[in-house]
Amino acid sequence: MGKIQELSERLANQIAAGEVVERPASVVKELVENAIDAGSSQIDILVEEAGLKKIQVTDNGEGIAEDDVENAFKRHATSKIHSRDDLFRIRTLGFRGEALPSIASVSYVTVETAVQGMKQGSLLRLEGGKVIEHTPAPLRQGTKIIVENLFFNTPARLKYIKTLQTELSNIGDIVNRLALSHPNIAFRLVHDGNKMLTTAGNGDLKQTIAGIFGVQTAKKLLAIEAKDLDFTVTGYISLPEVTRASRNYISTIINGRYIKNFALNKAIITGYGSKLMVGRFPIAVLEITMDPLLVDVNVHPTKQEVRLSKEPELTKLISKTINERLRLENLIPDAGENL
């Protein structure tokens, strides 16, 4: 027999987990994104010890059918895309079918889920990716997933975890962004019994921003709106005097997905011209809508980095719109052709 062998599914999942499940916040991100994709209007997130002890996400979405629930934990198993063509018109946050098997391979997972109209729901429990219980459960609306003892079998990863405070602030940050990208969903985040965030879920972005950054901050925002052939940009930016010491308060959302893109952040800052002090950054939440064909989300397993086909056109539109909006308020001189 040759010396090259295929890895077992469990080992392959653990290796993939290295990329997908970097830290507790990654688990929160993946579980909440699944809840969003399931069409939920209410998502409750409960964490203990910054997620290392327990992460529980409860949604009121479409649920998982009895005969699908074990498949959801198989590698590359997804209900979200079926063909190569689907890959070029992705409208869901997930599509790689990697998150659940990866998470399950490095933790203890319990799932309670039900689909409306079925006779009963199901309960599934896994330890390190191995199914240890699969039984019928009462009907409920949606899905509850509990992840416990994260990284119990990957000591190196556990060592790499920073302080609980850092991990918790990462969780807060990711939930903020997910909530900002979905003003129509009511989010609740509770850590060790303390409420960290609630949003109304009434579809109003400004109210969602108020829930996250505070009512006083939300009062000092300007609405932004722009449209050209390829893009629609809406959202809010802060007055130039309302700044923060980090870029963390800038959120760019493309087709409902919060993304990290240096060029877009820079375009926002450029729009302010010389109005920002060195080392100070605005608060901004921009929702960008475009044909999914123009954005490749299949660049990195976490899907936060994307490749944009018409990036120069989009950055120009953003800078110009922000600059004009601030000029309208008589806040900055005309940047003219310098943009």
- Residues forming contacts to ligand ADP in the complex (CB under 6 A) are 30, 34-35, 38, 59, 61-64, 72, 78-80, 94-100, 143
- Residue 246, class by beta-carbon neighbours within 10 Å (0-12 exposed, 13-18 middle, 19+ buried)? exposed
102 or 252: CB nearest ligand ADP: 102
**Does 113 engage in binding with Mg ion (CB under 5 A)?**
no
Q: How many positions of this chain bind Mg ion (CB under 5 A)?
A: 3
* Residue 121 binding target from ligand ADP, Mg ion, none, CB below 5 to 8 Å by type: none
Q: Angle formed by the axes of helices 205-213 and 164-181, to 10°?
A: 170
* Residue 175 binding target from Mg ion, ligand ADP, none, CB below 5 to 8 Å by type: none
CB of 255 to Mg ion, least distance (A): 16
94 or 240: CB nearest Mg ion: 94
**Does 94 engage in binding with Mg ion (CB under 5 A)?**
yes
259 or 322: CB nearest Mg ion: 259
- One-character DSSP codes across 239-302: -TTSEESSGGGEEEEETTEEE--HHHHHHHHHHTGGGSPTT-EE-EEEEEEE-GGGEE-TTSTT
CB of 211 to ligand ADP, least distance (A): 23
Retrieve residue 310's tokens: 């018409």
Residue type, 147: V
Question: Which stretch of DSSP H or E encloses residue 328?
Answer: helix 311-328
Residue nearest to ligand ADP (CB): 94
CB of 303 to Mg ion, least distance (A): 9
* Residue 112 binding target from ligand ADP, Mg ion, none, CB below 5 to 8 Å by type: none
Q: What share of the chain is helix, strand, coil (3-state, %, to 5)?
A: 35, 25, 35
CB of 90 to ligand ADP, least distance (A): 10
CB of 238 to ligand ADP, least distance (A): 34
Taking Cα atoms as reference points, which of 218, 225, 206, 239 lies closest to residue 326?
239
Site for Mg ion in 23-62 (CB under 5 A): 34
**Does 104 engage in binding with Mg ion (CB under 5 A)?**
no
CA 263 to chain CA centroid, Å, is 20
Tell me the CA distances in angstroms from 88 to 65, 77, 85, 92, one per residue in order: 27, 18, 6, 12
Q: Is 127 helix (H, G, I), strand (E, B) or coil?
A: strand
103 or 332: CB nearest ligand ADP: 103
* Residue 95 binding target from ligand ADP, Mg ion, none, CB below 5 to 8 Å by type: ligand ADP
Among 32, 47, 55, 99, binds Mg ion (CB under 5 A): 99
24 or 94: CB nearest Mg ion: 94
Residues paired with 58 in a beta bridge: 44, 144
257 or 275: CB nearest Mg ion: 257
- Residue 235, class by beta-carbon neighbours within 10 Å (0-12 exposed, 13-18 middle, 19+ buried)? buried
147 or 314: CB nearest ligand ADP: 147
Question: Which stretch of DSSP H or E encloses residue 56?
Answer: strand 54-59
**Does 283 engage in binding with Mg ion (CB under 5 A)?**
no
Name the site residues for Mg ion (rule: CB under 5 A).
34, 94, 99
